Structure 1
Amino acid sequence: MTTLLLLHGLGGDGGLWAPLLAEARWPGPVVDIDLDGHGGRPAPLRPAIGTLAAGVAARELPGDDVVVLGHSLGGAVGVLLATGLYGVRVRRLAIFGVKDDWDPDLVARLHRGADAPARTFATREEALERAALLAGVRGEVEGTPVTRGVAENGDGTWSTGFAPSSNLVAGQRVAALAPALTCPLLVVRGGDDPLVTPAEAAAFGIDPVTIAGAGHHPHLTHPADLWAEVGPFLREGLDA
Structure 2
Amino acid sequence: MDNLYVTRGGTDGPTLLLLHGLGATAEVWEGVTPLWPGRWVAPDLPGHGHSPALAGYSFGGLAAEVAGSVDGPVAVLGHSLGGVVGLALASGWFGVPVAAVCGIGIKVSWTSEDLAKAAQLAAKPSRLFASPEEALDRAAKVAGLPSASIDSRLVVEEEDGWRLSLDPRAFAVGRPDLPGLLGAARARVRLAAGETDPMSPADHLRTLVPDPVILPGLGHSAHVEDPEALRPLIEELLSAVT
The percent identity for this pair of structures is 36
Of 25, 43, 55 in structure 2, the residue corresponding to residue 33 of structure 1 is 43
Calculate the TM-score normalised by the size of structure 2. Answer: 0.88
Asked if 1:161 is matched to 2:165, the reply is yes
Deviates more, 1:68-77 or 1:38-47: 38-47
The AA in structure 2 aligned to 1:68 is V
Of 71, 90, 109 in structure 1, the residue corresponding to residue 117 of structure 2 is 109
Where structure 2 has 5 or more consecutive residues not aligned to the other structure, the ranges are: 1-12
Of 55, 65, 69 in structure 2, the residue corresponding to residue 60 of structure 1 is 69
CA offsets 1:169-222 (integer angstroms, 9 cap, x no match): 232332332122111111112111111122321233341011111111110112
Asked if 1:210 is matched to 2:218, the reply is no
Asked if 1:151 is matched to 2:156, the reply is yes
Return the alpha-carbon distance in structure 1 between the equivalents of residues 225 and 136 of structure 2. Answer: 19
Note the aligned Cα RMSD (angstroms).
1.9
| CA contact 1:100–1:200 (8 Å) conserved in 2 | yes
CA offsets 1:34-90 (integer angstroms, 9 cap, x no match): 111111423322211111111111x232x5321100110000000000000011111
Which one scores higher on RCO, CA 8 angstroms, separation ≥ 6? 1
Asked if 1:192 is matched to 2:196, the reply is yes
Return the alpha-carbon distance in structure 2 between the equivalents of residues 60 and 46 of structure 1. Answer: 20
- 1:156 deviates by 4.4
Of 7, 28, 45 in structure 2, the residue corresponding to residue 16 of structure 1 is 28
The residue aligned with 2:131 is 123
- 1:237 deviates by 4.4
Return the alpha-carbon distance in structure 2 between the equivalents of residues 71 and 5 of structure 1. Answer: 11
Where structure 1 has 5 or more consecutive residues not aligned to the other structure, the ranges are: none
- 1:146 deviates by 8.5
Question: Map of 1:218-229 to 2, 5 A cutoff?
Answer: 218-227=222-231, 229=232
Secondary structure, in 3 states, of the residue corresponding to 1:19? coil
Return the alpha-carbon distance in structure 2 between the equivalents of residues 216 and 194 of structure 1. Answer: 7
The AA in structure 2 aligned to 1:202 is R
Return the alpha-carbon distance in structure 2 between the equivalents of residues 85 and 124 of structure 1. Answer: 40
- Give the direction of change, closer, same or farther, for the CA distance of 1:238–1:49 in structure 2 (3 Å limit): closer
The residue aligned with 1:2 is 14
Structure 1 segments (4+ residues) deviating >4 Å: none
Give the aligned length: 230
The AA in structure 2 aligned to 1:121 is F
